Amino acid sequence: MNYELTVHRRHVHDGLLFAAARELLANASQHAAARHVLVCLAEQNGSVVLEVRDDGRGFDVAELPERLAEGHIGLPSQRERIESQGGGMSIRTAPGRGTSVEVHVPAD
């Protein structure tokens, strides 16, 4: 695992970002069979941005509602928490292409 951290102060949403990072790293380990993971944390344009990118098996994002119905609530619950605090989450993935998830929350 590699990381890039360019945030040098605490933020009001640090706990939320930590929980999101923990979930995303667990997914990379448990589901993606990733060999490499990159974690980036930066402050950009009034937001704190977390990106977790892996080279794992990826998935079809259209299957997320079905996975939620089966009881897999990790990503949807993280998205809900993030959006409730004025942030957002974007997922870029495809089968066989790895996954990149970007989370942004207000810096203050």
The CB density around residue 76, as the number of other CB atoms within 10 Å, is 14
CATH class of 2-106: alpha beta
* pLDDT over threshold 80, residue 83: yes
Domain parsing of the chain, residue ranges? 2-106
pLDDT tens digits, one per residue of 35-73: 999 999 999 999 999 999 999 999 988 887 787 778 777
Residue whose pair of structure tokens reads 């990118």 in the numeric block: 53
CA distance 9 to 6: 9
Q: Is the pLDDT of residue 15 over 90?
A: yes
